[in-house]
Every structure is written in structure tokens, then in C-alpha cells.
A and B are shown apart, each in its own frame.
Chain A
Amino acid sequence: MFRYTKKTLLREALLILVALIFLLPFYFLINLSLKNGNDALTTSAMQLVTNPTLDAFGQAIRGGRQATLMDGMLNSIIITAGSVLILVAVGSISAYTLSRRTGKLSKAAMGLILVTMVLPAQAAIIPIYVGMRNVGLVGTHAGTIIMYAGALLPISIFLYMGFTNGIARDYEEAAQIDGASRFTVFRKIVFPLLSPATGTVAIFTGLIVWNDFFTGLIFLNGSDAVTLPVVIYNFVGESVSQWNVIFAAIIISMIPILAFFLVAQKQFIQGFTGGVKS
């Protein structure tokens, strides 16, 4: 029944057409970023670049009054890596604790985690901001990492629990008989078994942190620790209508994540649907 018929060919052609229209913004993005300042203003955006130049990229890299693109990139890497590390470490060990300790307290803790999903997050960010300002954490890497790790921890624990509940205790028991401590059992036996969940947690939370603009705008704008989206935001404000330079900056900011996506797209899609589903 599901053979390749003329109808399928028609459907395929239609889908390819849809995909091409869908990708038009990327055509404008790349095409314009390769034009020089004059061509960018005088030629049509649809017209393919005649004498491609990397001028706009040079300007984009040098530009940025407060922080350059490279500063933003470095800050984003530090903050994303720091947050993901904490989310993996604390998320996995907390989920494991909740799976192995099955008493009332565990149920209560599970409840505490679930209820965070309906707490007024928008109202919470204001006191967090003020609290962090009072202890000097606003505008720092550490403060932002704490903020992200704390905010995403419930999701991380939740994702891990889908896996920790399914791990058989036999390995752990065997290791313990051989004299391994509780922590060794977790580190050497349980954590490696959780690697699929670790992949999901890392990709899902890592993408959220990397692309997040709101938190960066509030906690970091004006400081040295600004993340990439905030740098782009300020950059656009500073380079009024120099679209070729703006687009070059956007492309540079997209390179790390796109490279990552193309190499590991299957894990990305799985991580994303897996993360979203739980």
C-alpha cells in the first residue's frame, strides 16, 4: 500500500517547494552578508551577490561597543557549559536518590519538583534579581550559572527519573558486595548507565541556556559577562540598517550551534522531543 506512486511524487515535489520557501530567510541572510556596504543598499535582496566579500564579517568581528561577538561567544560557552555541568551532576544524583529512596519523603520531594512547573516564574525573577544584586552576583558568570541551573533543575531531575527508575539494582548490589561505597556505586555504575539521559538533559537544557535572551538581558546587560544573544541585540541597536554587517554577526553567532546540530542532528531531535515529552 505504501509504495512510491505518482501521487507520492507530487507530494514530494510539493514538500520540496515548501521547504525551499521555508528556507528563503536563510538565503537572504547569507546572500546579504556577502555583499559590500554599497551593494547591500543599492541591489535587491533577492539578487545573488556578484562580487562576494567578507568585509561585513570583518566589521562584525571588530564591532560591538561594549562587548564584541567573540566576548559574547566566550561568555555563552562558559555559562552554558557551567549550567549544563551542574544540571547533569545535581540532576542525576537527585533523581537517583528519589528513585532509590521510595518513602513518603521521596513522594513529597517529587511533589515539590512538580509544583515548580506551575509557580509564577515571571514573578519569581524579580526577587531573584534583587537578591542576586544584593550579594553582587548580577552581571557575573557565577550568578547567571546559578540562576539557569536552579531554574532548569526540576526539568533535569524529571528527565533523569525516567531512566533511574528503570535501572535494575543487581549491578549496584554486586558492586556493594565487592565493597564499593554508595558514592562509588553511583559514580562508577549508575551514572554511566544514565548516559542516554545525560545526552537528553545536556542537549535540551544546553540549547535553552545558549539561546536564552531574557535572563541575559536582565542579569547581564551592561556587564562584561554578556551572552551572545545580548551582544547581538546591542549590536543591532548600534549598527542601524547596516544589514550586511548585522547579518554577518548573526551568521557568526549561529555557527557553533549549527555545526553541532548538523553533526548530531539525530541526538538533537531525539533530545528535544524526549525533553519536551516528559
Chain B
Amino acid sequence: MTAQLEQKAEGARVIGRQPRASKKNGREGDRGTERRFATWWWFTPALLALVLIHYAPSAIGAFFAFTNWKGLGKWQFVGWDNFAAIAEGGPTTTALINTFIIGISFVVLTNVLGLLLALGLNRTVKSRNVIRTLIFAPVVLSSLATSYIWKFIFEQGGPLNEFLGSVGLESLKRTWLGDPSTVLPAIIIVMVWQNVGLVMVMYLAGLATVSPELEEAASLDGASLWQRFNYVVLPAIMPSVVIAMTLMLINGLRVFDQIQALTGGGPYGASETLAVTIYKETFVLGRFGFGAALALVMSLIIIILTVAQRLLLRTSSKG
């Protein structure tokens, strides 16, 4: 059926647009090659995957967000009840706030530190390749596995407290992951450590496009280091800035592995994020309907913040 549809559509297209196509490349035009190469049948597996793994489940998930389904058995429509329960406050509000705090600090820290590292490693430094490889290494490792190393570091009798004790800062010692006031910063440190190498590499790729001549000319004209960065380097690496910030925002808002490994959402829910709450509600407590509603909210937040960030970056790069 796809093939039939496609032939009709193509016929219409060829009649409608033939003059332009032949003007463009002089020869037979796209028409001949389109007939000869590839067939729409080759796209069927991809179409199946798109429908069965992306579109249908998303639609069904959105539908069940308005029910009280438990994953098995009967269910009823509950209208906006699930969303009202989310807005009502309590644990989901904490998760929501935590997700924002983590997402935003993660974007800022990975990008600032990644850019500083990239600027430091750009050109002349002899050990740059070795350092780049070492700082990138955590990116390829499982974030679950690396989080356990940090869990040990943050323990009561762990190296961090031991270090603080040995430099006379006994008063700062604490169970970093068990204290609601330090648990989020600790998690953010682990996330930044794991991802800063990726951001650094993206900025290094951007910096490679900055022309040394232009920078040199600016410097000869008396531009300060900051002016050189602001007027020569930054405009050139703007594409990297946009990509790195978008990616880190999405990853930060979706964080699951590190929290599941470090705290499981504790102490007393102090480090729960939306992804962790969705997991618990849906797959531990079996509240599929409520979990789906939360998941919908989380997806919306990710989309809205990503778009907002893009618009912000666009205006700031113009202004």
C-alpha cells in the first residue's frame, strides 16, 4: 500500500515540478534516478519502528495519563486527577524543584568548566592530547558504575572526610549523601565530573574553527584577552555553545542513573528527581496512570526549557 501511495504522490510531484528540476541540473532530472534507486519497501522496517516504538506508545502513554490504570486489570478515566495530584504538592513538588536545580546547575557548570578546559588545552600545551583523553574517559564509562566510586568517596569514613580531617577542617565533615543540605551538590559534582569531558571536546571542535590570523590581528590591534574572547572566539564557537547547552540541559533534566546509584532518591526523598519518581511510581508501586502523567509533565518541561534556552541563546548571540 505504501508503494501505491508513493507512486501516486511521486507522479503528482513530477508533473508539478518537472520544469524546475530539469532546469536545476540540466539532465534527465531527479525523475529517472528516483525510479532507479531505492524503493519505498526499504523504508518499511523504519516505519514499523517509528509507529510501534515511538508514535503508538507515546499516544497510548498520553492516554493512560488520564486514567487510574495499575498495569493490570480494569481502569477508569479520572480526567485531570493525576495532574491535579502532581500540582498538589508533596513529594512530586520536591522532585520537580530538584529536577530544575540539578538541570540548571548541570548546564551552567559543565559548560563553564568544559569551555575553560577547552580554552586551556587549545593550542601550544604539549600534553593536550593526553589530558584530553583522560578527561574524556568518564564519558565512555557507565554512569552507574562511576557513581559508585563517588558514593564511596562521599561516605562517612570515606576519602573526602578523611581529607577534610587531615587539613584541619573537622567541622566540615558530614555524611554528604545522607544530609539533605549537601546531597544535591554532591550529585551535581558526580554528574559534572562524568560529562565535562564531552562538553570540553565539543568546545575544542568549535575552537578549531577560530582562525589564528584573526585572533592575532585582534591582539595586534590592542584587543584585551576578554575582548578577543568576546568578539573573535565566542561568535565562532556559538554553534558548539548551542549544541552543548541543549544536550546538557536535556541530560540534566533526565538524570536517573547517578541518583539511583548514589541515594535512590534519599534521604527521605530529598534527592528525588522526576525520572526517579516516575520509576518508583510506575515500576515499583505499579501506578501506571500516575507515572504516565508524570512522564508527560517531564517531557513537556524538557521541551519547553529546551526551546526557551534556544531562543535565549539566539537573541543573546545576535545582541
A interface with B by C-beta (< 8 Å): 1-4, 8, 11-12, 14-16, 18-19, 22-26, 28-29, 32, 44-46, 90-91, 93-94, 96-98, 100-105, 109, 112-113, 116, 118-131, 146-147, 149-151, 153-154, 157, 169, 172-173, 176, 182, 185-186, 207, 210-211, 213-214, 217-218, 228-229, 232-233, 236, 243, 246-247, 250, 253-254, 257-258, 261, 265, 268-269, 272-273, 276-277
In the bound complex, residues from chain B placing their C-beta under 8 Å from that of A15 are 117, 120-121, 125, 127, 131
* Given A15-B121, A126-B292, A97:B201 Cβ within 8 A: no
A203 closest partner in B (C-beta):
B140
Instruction: Flag whether B81 is at the interface (Cβ < 8 A).
Output: no
Instruction: Flag whether B295 is at the interface (Cβ < 8 A).
Output: yes
Instruction: Flag whether B36 is at the interface (Cβ < 8 A).
Output: yes
B299 CB contact (under 8 Å) in A98, A122, A257, A258: A122
B174-192, CB under 8 A of A: which get 1 and which 0?
A: 0000000000000000000
In the assembled complex, the Cα of A19 lies from the Cα of B121 at a distance in Å of: 11
Contact status B125-A11, CB under 8 Å? yes
Q: How far is the CB of B105 from chain A (nearest CB, A)?
A: 19
Contact status A104-B9, CB under 8 Å? yes
Given contacts A8-B124, A258-B141, 7 further A-B contacts (CB under 8 A): A97-B39, A97-B40, A100-B37, A118-B299, A128-B53, A154-B54, A268-B136
A126 CB contact (under 8 Å) in B34, B212, B275, B288: B288
In the bound complex, residues from chain B placing their C-beta under 8 Å from that of A1 are 212, 215-216, 219
Contact status A11-B146, CB under 8 Å? no
B interface with A by C-beta (< 8 Å): 5-6, 9-10, 12-13, 30, 33-34, 36-40, 42-43, 45-47, 49-50, 52-58, 60-62, 64-65, 71, 117, 120-121, 123-127, 131-137, 139-146, 148-150, 152-153, 158-159, 162-163, 193, 198, 201-202, 205, 212, 215-216, 219, 243, 247, 254, 256-257, 260-261, 275, 278-279, 282-283, 288, 291-292, 294-296, 298-300, 303
In the bound complex, residues from chain A placing their C-beta under 8 Å from that of B40 are 97, 101, 105
Q: How far is the CB of B106 from chain A (nearest CB, A)?
A: 16
In the bound complex, residues from chain A placing their C-beta under 8 Å from that of B136 are 265, 268-269
Contact status B38-A147, CB under 8 Å? no
The 6 closest A-B pairs by CB, nearest first: A150-B53, A123-B61, A120-B299, A122-B295, A124-B57, A123-B295
In the assembled complex, the Cα of A97 lies from the Cα of B49 at a distance in Å of: 16
The main secondary structure of chain B at its interface with chain A is helix
Contact status A250-B148, CB under 8 Å? yes
24 A-B contacts (beta carbon < 8 Å): A1-B216, A2-B123, A3-B124, A16-B131, A25-B193, A28-B149, A32-B152, A93-B38, A102-B30, A102-B34, A104-B13, A116-B54, A122-B299, A123-B299, A149-B49, A150-B49, A154-B50, A182-B38, A217-B279, A232-B145, A236-B261, A258-B140, A268-B140, A277-B202
